[in-house]
Amino acid sequence: MAMAMEEWRFPQGRAVDAVRWLPHATAAMDRLLVLALWDATPCRPSIDLTSLCHQEQAEAGQSTPWLQLQVSWPQPARASALRVLALSHERVLVAAASVVGSLSLVAIDSLHPSRPSAPLICPSLHRGSMCGLDLQSSSQSCVSVGEDGKINIISFGESGLQPMCFYDNRGLLSFSAVRWASPVEFVTGGIGYSLQWWDTRRPGGAVSKALTKWNGRHGPGLIHSIDIHPSRKHICVIGGSAGSVLAWDLRWQQEPIQLVGDNARGKGNLLGAPPIESDVWEVKYDHFSPFSGHSADTGKASPVMVCSEDGVLAVLEDGVAVELLAEPCAINSFDIDPELGQDIICALEHESVLVMRRGLDIPQKKLGNLTSQRGTIGSTFGSNYF
């Protein structure tokens, strides 16, 4: 696959902890994105709604983009997670978790982004950091997890926010990531690459657990990010410590497929050095058409995009890591355009935002063969599951 890449960098002067695209409102409008920003001196945490504007240059036949601030909402503390949910064609909900356990929800009219609305804040949902959250449109609810071992479900609607503690292990096990799989089911992750499957109709504990605990060379690994397969809710991919990216079928109590990471060494899954050796901060299934054109009978895994502490943004596809970006600093977060998947936005540790646009013209750099046992994927989970 050949690919052309355009990229633009926008310094922010503050730490960029997370970034998210907003869905398109109309084709004529500028793209909207949300930034979670933080400055230690003075402490100025905020959620900023920004538009990506373009100005045509007739003489060059190109456009020069820039970021224009629309609205900024001060936050109680530094953001630890950021999610966006389209409630309708025009209204978008933004949710931000914080390191002091609070949750902020902001409704945005994407047709009139400059009209500010006050955020709804739920303080002290967790003792300590709220490590992960996710939004669900059908059930109109948010699920949050924290280092205190609590799982909260917050209903949102015309009556406001209604938080409920769904589970509390009183700090015996911290949760570090969460993702909805259906309107009533979600997946959590924590230390040891452990995964738990929960059903809101069956409170009291997880209904299923992935029993295998994977340890990296530095001890038990930690899950930083989870994404659910877009069409198969029992299939998930996780990103964690030591560069690990695992694909898991939660219905079967078997070991996951190690797509990349420390545990793949010496097992035939990697040829040469691993392309990502540090923590994988975020992982997402990549729906961009050049990567996602797999039929169910090919036996190929769905492509996955990851970003890491060592500055790598890559797509893991068909056993090969395709490098899209290599930075001298950490890539804290990224997001893929929810419509076409062509545009990518990244939060760089060097206090800047990077916007990329993918095309199909020039060669891309392959980091190495990740999975020489392609048949293992099909025989373990079945080719239709990925």
Extents of the domains making up the chain: 11-124
Helix (H) or strand (E) holding 291: helix 289-292
DSSP bridge pairs for 365: 323
Q: Is the peptide bond before 45 cis (omega within 30 degrees of 0)?
A: no
Torsion of CA 295, 297, 300, 306, to 10 degrees: 50
Residue 139 to residue 67: CA distance in whole angstroms: 34
In angstroms, the CA 356 to CA 6 distance is 5
What span, in angstroms and rounded, lies between the C-alpha atoms of 353 and 333? 10
**What contacts 304, CB < 8 A, 6 or more positions away?**
227, 237, 245, 247, 259, 283, 284, 285, 286, 315, 316, 317
Whether 282 contacts 307, CB under 8 Å:
yes
pLDDT in tens, the chain (386 residues): 456 788 999 999 999 999 999 987 654 567 899 999 999 888 889 999 999 987 654 455 566 889 999 999 999 999 999 999 998 888 899 999 999 999 999 999 888 887 777 889 999 999 999 999 999 999 999 999 999 999 999 998 777 789 999 999 988 889 999 999 999 999 999 887 788 999 999 999 999 887 555 555 445 688 999 999 988 898 999 999 888 888 888 777 666 777 765 544 333 333 334 567 889 999 999 988 665 554 444 446 689 999 999 999 999 887 678 889 999 999 999 999 988 889 999 999 999 999 999 885 544 555 544 432 222 222 233 333 33
What distance lies between CA 353 and its chain's CA centroid?
16
Residue 156, H or E segment: strand 150-157
- Respond yes or no on whether the N-terminal peptide bond of residue 230 is cis (omega within 30° of 0): no
| Spatial separation of the C-alpha atoms in residues 177 and 282, rounded to whole Å | 10
Cβ atoms within 10 Å, residue 77 = 19
Both tokens of 199, joined, read 């059903």
